[in-house]
């Protein structure tokens, strides 16, 4: 410091002042450094914690469960975000005066609870930190609740599952519980695929409550993946409507129908009666929500005859033109009688199927090796699951005995002593319809049609289909299964229901078949359990349902008619359909 | 005299400072850069906050739209349900299924 001011020489620097000021400044500076160090190092954690407490928030992102669609993208199950009202009893109970507040009374009014009851139920959970008050509030309730601010009570995002097609698809889809976990059907089988994971984000808010920074995503939100089914909503509804009608008309206890696409093995429709509305939790009783088409076993009755016939043709010992003598219409085996309703006399193989002759088919069965029939049934999918992974599916029962009595073989040939699900029956006929190719069934849409596996020879399959065509033509047992414009190959079945110690007086009426018979595209089984009316034959009860549902399927898929009133009309471009036959 | 000297000294001082700056150009540049980047940090964090707030509000909007879409899907599905269409077609519009007698099938 140079003193070149006014009087440089006369005023000497007073040294102690200078050092005093210097020391004071240094002291202040030192003080600041120490304070800064203290805050930065020693108090850092506490201060940062306090700061974060005021600005950093963890928010939850609620992810929705995957939706379920039919094969054309029509929604079958949709999750809707809703809110739940919850309480932290510890915080809530801190201020007892709240129970007299206007807000509290209003809240109780919105959710429709008595204030005293609700308060006591919360007080009973005093130690807890989380209790639901009410779940799945309506949008209206949520709007009104927004104006209410009671310490310890808050809203929480959650989901509600809606099934727009309600009882039409309920057996296939199943349902979820209130916590969005699949409980039945595909909701259960594909729970993991459909399940979502809520996300967690950390955000920093400014004093206006705006999020101004997002330091980290604690947990990424993962919405559930959508599921596309093979079900065709339109055909599913057609099957539902017709089956329901039949079950009601005949006062049956239950019924099932399964429609398969033979080309791909896709399950296009699967319905049961009785059914339930999955949107109404009150209706969830097991007798209602069981998917009988896959879980319940029936004795297939006469519908197994074409399959035995396939075994006979496969053995090489029988051929299309062969004749069997069924007179006098009954015969005795080990003290028991196999009988036909009337004496059909001598018939060809087609006649046995057309008339559904017990004597004829059992004569054929007895001439075959036992394992030839059983093996053919196994090849046609009996005793094997559908491959769809449907929960609770039954694989059926075929008694694998070493010794069969002759009577057992005879009854086996007309469908007693084996058990199958309706789905298995539809599949066995689909294999016949596809020329002996077994394609794995599917409820979930596949990218590629599986090539399938040839299980019986094509000529056998074609022959059996042509035999079955006679069933719906004049002289057959199921004229009501006929469809105007199309040929139908199928078989009726009317089986007495097994009860403890024998067979009772109740029947199962079945019709199963493929159409069009010339180049089968669909396989459909209709099963009506315990029809109470005067009619209980498969041809009277199940065949009309078959006709109407199959007709709709053929029209929906634009399948060309293969039958006309006058055969020559098919050769021209225009076909006027015959006036006979069913109405849609 | 005194005043004149003071003025001269002050002029010299500013001159000195200017010359000093000119000579220490690099230093000045650095100081300027420090300030510029400091303001830059402030500005960019300001922009970021705005963008974050906008992102947040867009997320909320997305959520709202998703919610609307889901409800719309349900509504369409309810309105287009086969049972409803069938009921309206039969009861209100007096329609019925075409009887086979009246069908003409064109085979190509």
Q: Which tens digits make up the pLDDT trace of A190-227?
A: 999 999 888 888 888 777 777 777 777 778 888 899 99
> Rounded CA gap, A342 and A414, in Å?
16
Answer whether B53 sits within 8 Å of A210, measured CB to CB. Answer: yes
Position A257 scores a pLDDT of 95
Q: pLDDT tier at A578 (50, 70, 90 boundaries)?
A: very low
The predicted pLDDT at position A435 comes to 92
- As a whole number of angstroms, the distance between CA A406 and CA A218 comes to 72
pLDDT band for B3, please (50, 70, 90 cuts): low
Q: Which of A212, A238, A561 sits opposite B105 (nearest CB)?
A: A561
Query: Would you call B81 and A79 a contact, using CB atoms and an 8 Å cutoff?
Result: no
The CATH number of A59-228 is 3.90.1310.10
Q: Which of these, A459, A474, A480, lies nearest to A354 by C-alpha position?
A: A474
Chain CA centroid to CA B88, Å:
46
Over the stretch A402-411, which tens digit does the pLDDT of each residue have?
677 888 888 8
Query: Which CATH superfamily groups domain A233-571?
Result: DD-peptidase/beta-lactamase superfamily (3.40.710.10)
Catalytic residue numbers of A, as ranges: 302
Q: Is the pLDDT of residue A244 over 60?
A: yes
Tell whether A331 is within 8 A of chain B (Cβ): no
Record the tokens describing residue B60, joined without a space.
Answer: 């909320």
Residue B1 pLDDT grade (very low, low, confident, very high; cuts 50, 70, 90): low
**Is the separation of the CB atoms in A182 and A191 below 8 Å?**
yes
pLDDT(A1) > 60: no
Res B53: pLDDT = 85
Tell if the CB–CB gap between B103 and A577 is shorter than 8 Å.
yes
Instruction: For tokens 């002996």, name the residue.
Output: A436
Beta bridge partners of A317: none
pLDDT range class, residue A568, cuts 50, 70, 90 = very low
Position A203 scores a pLDDT of: 81
- In angstroms, the separation between the Cα of residue B33 and the nearest Cα of chain A is 26
| Residue-wise pLDDT tens digits, B55-101 | 888 988 998 898 899 989 888 888 888 888 989 999 999 988 777 67
For residue A12, the model assigns a pLDDT of 66
Which chain B residues are Cβ-neighbours of A233 within 8 angstroms?
82
Which position has the higher pLDDT, A59 or A69? A69
Instruction: List the structure tokens of B46.
Output: 């300001």
Instruction: Give chain B positions within 8 Å (CB) of A486.
Output: none
Asked if A573's CB is within 8 angstroms of B77's CB, the reply is: no
Q: What is the mean pLDDT of residues A532-536?
A: 78
What does the alpha-carbon distance between residue A140 and residue A138 come to, in Å, rounded to a whole number?
5
Tokens of A396: 């059926």
**A506 within 8 A of A497, measured Cβ to Cβ:** yes
User: pLDDT class for A579, splitting at 50, 70, 90?
Assistant: very low
A561 at interface of B, judged by CB pairs closer than 8 A: yes
Return the half-sphere exposure (C-beta side, CA atoms, 13 A cut-off) of residue A78: 23
pLDDT at A330: 84
Model confidence at A9, pLDDT cuts 50, 70, 90, reads low
How big is the A-B interface in CB pairs under 8 Å? Answer: 92
* Residue A452, pLDDT score: 86
**What pLDDT sits at residue A92?**
86
Query: Could you give the percent of chain A with pLDDT greater than 70?
Result: 93
Domain boundaries, chain B: 48-79
Evaluated on CA atoms A274, A277, A278, A284, the torsion sign reads negative
Confirm if A521 and A261 have CB atoms less than 8 A apart: yes
Q: Which two tokens stand for residue B64?
A: 């709202």
pLDDT over 90 percentage in chain A: 33
Question: Is a pLDDT exceeding 90 seen at residue A267?
Answer: yes
Cβ within 8 Å of B, A 8-67: 64
* A374 contacts A261 by C-beta, under 8 angstroms: no
Residues of B in Cβ contact (< 8 Å) with A7:
none
Residue of chain A minimizing CA distance to B99:
A583
Nearest CA-CA partner of A271 in A184, A173, A172, A189: A172
Mutate to test the interface with B, among A226, A483, A574, A577 (most CBs of B within 10 A): A577
* pLDDT score of A459: 92
Q: What chain A residue is nearest to B78 in terms of C-alpha separation? A: A164
Contacts of A74 in chain B (CB under 8 A): 77
CB A126 within 8 A of CB A90: yes
pLDDT band at A11 (very low <50, low <70, confident <90, very high): low
> What are the residues facing A438 on neighbouring strands?
A453
Every domain of chain A and the residues it spans: 15-42, 59-228, 233-571
CB atoms within 10 A of CB A312: 26
Distance CA A79, CA A73 (A): 16
- How far is residue A176's CA from residue A279's CA, in Å, rounded to a whole number? 10
Other CB atoms within 10 A of residue A473 CB: 15
A213/B contact by beta carbon, under 8 A: yes
Cross-strand partners of A347: A324
Q: Which residues of A touch B2 (CB under 8 A)?
A: 6
A163-199 residue pLDDT tens: 988 889 999 998 998 888 988 899 999 999 999 888 8
Pairing of strands A330-333, A336-339: antiparallel
Flag if A583 and B73 touch (Cβ within 8 Å).
no
Which residues on chain B place their C-beta less than 8 Å from a C-beta of chain A? 2, 48-49, 52-53, 55-56, 63, 66-67, 70-71, 73-74, 77-78, 81-83, 97-101, 103-108
Q: How far apart are CA A358 and CA A492, in angstroms?
A: 13
| Inter-chain residue contact B107 with A584, CB threshold 8 Å | no
Closest CB from A212, A576, A584 relative to B52: A212
Contact list in B for residue A212 (CB cut-off 8 A) is: 48-49, 52-53
> Any CB–CB contact under 8 A between A584 and chain B?
yes
State the average pLDDT over residues A565-578: 45
C-beta atoms of B52 and A214 within 8 A? yes
pLDDT, averaged across chain B:
84
DSSP string spanning A358-399? HHHHHHHHHHS-HHHHHHHHHHTTTTS--SS--TT----EE-
For chain A, what is the mean pLDDT? 85
Which candidate from A80, A165, A581 shows the least CB-CB separation from B71?
A80
What pLDDT, on the 0 to 100 scale, is given for residue A236?
94
Nearest CA-CA distance, residue B66 and chain A, Å: 9
Contact between chains at A81 and B67 (C-beta distance less than 8 A): yes
Give the dihedral of Cα atoms B70, B72, B75, B79; nearest 10 deg: -130
**CB count in 10 Å sphere of residue A288:** 17
Nearest to A224 by CA among A198, A244, A246, A196: A196
pLDDT at A575: 44
Query: What is the per-residue pLDDT across A477-506, written as a single tens digit (0 to 9) for each?
Result: 888 888 888 899 999 988 887 766 667 778
**Maximal C-alpha separation, chain B:** 129
Q: Does A342 touch chain B (CB under 8 A)?
A: no
Encode B56-68: b = buried (16+ Cβ within 10 Å), e = exposed.
beeeeeeeeeeee
Stretch (H or E) spanning A575: strand A574-576
Tally of helices (H runs) and strands (E runs) in chain A: 21, 22
Q: How many CA atoms lie within 13 A of A45 on its CB side?
A: 1
The predicted pLDDT at position A567 comes to 45
CB contact under 8 A, B105 and A164: no
- Write the CA distances from A236 to A258, A266, A369, A428, B83, integer angstroms: 9, 13, 41, 21, 12
- Reported as a pLDDT band with limits 50, 70 and 90, residue A558 is confident
- B75 to chain A: closest CA residue: A164
């Amino acid at each position: 410091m140079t003193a070149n001011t006014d009087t440089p020489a006369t005023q000497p620097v007073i040294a102690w002042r200078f050092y005093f000021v210097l020391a004071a400044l240094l002291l202040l500076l030192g003080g600041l450094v120490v304070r800064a160090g203290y805050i930065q190092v020693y108090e850092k954690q506490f201060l940062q914690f306090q700061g974060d407490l005021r600005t950093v928030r963890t928010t939850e992102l609620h992810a929705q469960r995957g939706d379920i669609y039919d094969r054309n993208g029509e929604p079958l199950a949709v999750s809707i975000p809703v809110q739940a009202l919850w309480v932290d009893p510890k915080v809530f109970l801190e201020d007892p005066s709240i129970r007299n507040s206007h807000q509290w009374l209003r809240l109780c009014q919105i959710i429709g609870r008595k204030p005293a009851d609700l308060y006591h139920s919360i007080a009973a959970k005093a130690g807890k930190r989380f209790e639901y008050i009410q779940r799945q509030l309506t949008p209206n309730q949520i709007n009104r609740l927004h104006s209410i601010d009671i310490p310890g009570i808050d809203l929480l995002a959650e989901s509600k599952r809606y099934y727009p097609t309600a009882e039409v698809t309920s057996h296939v889809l199943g349902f979820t519980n209130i916590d969005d976990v699949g409980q039945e059907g595909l909701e259960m089988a594909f729970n993991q695929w459909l399940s979502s994971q809520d996300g967690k984000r950390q955000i920093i808010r400014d004093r206006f409550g705006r999020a101004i920074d997002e330091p980290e995503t604690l947990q990424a939100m993962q919405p559930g993946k959508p599921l596309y089914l093979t079900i065709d909503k339109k055909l599913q509804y057609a099957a539902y409507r017709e089956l329901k009608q039949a079950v009601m008309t005949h006062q049956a206890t239950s019924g099932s129908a399964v429609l398969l696409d033979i080309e791909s093995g896709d399950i296009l429709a699967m319905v049961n009666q009785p059914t339930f509305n999955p949107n109404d939790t009150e209706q969830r009783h097991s007798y209602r929500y069981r998917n009988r088409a896959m879980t319940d076993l029936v004795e297939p009755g006469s519908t197994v005859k074409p399959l035995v016939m396939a075994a006979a043709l496969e053995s090489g010992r029988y051929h299309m033109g062969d004749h069997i003598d069924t007179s006098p219409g009954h015969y005795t085996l080990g003290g028991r009688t196999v009988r036909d309703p009337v004496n059909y006399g001598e018939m060809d193989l087609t006649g046995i199927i057309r008339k559904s002759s017990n004597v004829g088919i059992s004569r054929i069965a007895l001439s075959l090796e036992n394992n030839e029939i059983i093996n053919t049934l196994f090849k046609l999918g009996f005793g094997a699951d559908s491959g769809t992974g449907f929960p609770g599916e039954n694989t059926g029962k075929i008694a694998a005995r070493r010794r069969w009595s002759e009577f057992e073989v005879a009854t086996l040939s007309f469908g007693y002593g084996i058990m199958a699900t309706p789905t298995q029956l539809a599949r066995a006929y689909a294999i016949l319809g596809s020329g002996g190719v077994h394609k794995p069934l599917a409820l979930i849409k596949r990218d590629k049609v599986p090539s399938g596996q040839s299980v019986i020879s094509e000529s056998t399959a074609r022959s059996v289909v042509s035999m079955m065509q006679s069933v719906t033509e004049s002289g057959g047992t199921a004229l009501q299964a006929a469809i105007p414009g199309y040929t139908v190959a199928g078989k009726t079945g009317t089986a007495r229901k097994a009860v403890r110690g024998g067979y009772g007086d109740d029947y199962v009426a079945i019709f199963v078949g493929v159409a069009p018979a010339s180049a089968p595209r669909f396989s459909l089984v209709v099963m009506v359990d315990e029809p109470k009316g005067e009619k209980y034959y498969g041809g009277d009860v199940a065949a009309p349902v078959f006709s109407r549902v199959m007709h709709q399927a053929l029209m929906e898929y634009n399948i060309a008619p293969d039958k006309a009133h006058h055969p020559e009309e098919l050769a021209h471009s225009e076909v006027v359909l015959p006036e006979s036959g069913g109405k849609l | 005299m005194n005043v004149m000297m003071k003025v001269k000294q002050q002029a010299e001082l500013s001159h000195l400072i200017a010359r000093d700056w000119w000579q220490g150009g690099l230093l000045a540049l650095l100081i300027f850069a420090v300030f510029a980047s400091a303001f830059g940090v402030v500005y960019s964090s300001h922009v970021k906050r705005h963008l974050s707030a906008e992102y947040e509000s867009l997320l909320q909007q997305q959520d709202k739209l998703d919610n609307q879409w889901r409800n719309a899907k349900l509504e369409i599905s309810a309105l287009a349900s086969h049972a409803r269409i069938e009921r309206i077609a039969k009861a209100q519009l007096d329609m019925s299924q075409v009887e086979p007698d009246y069908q003409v099938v064109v085979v190509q």
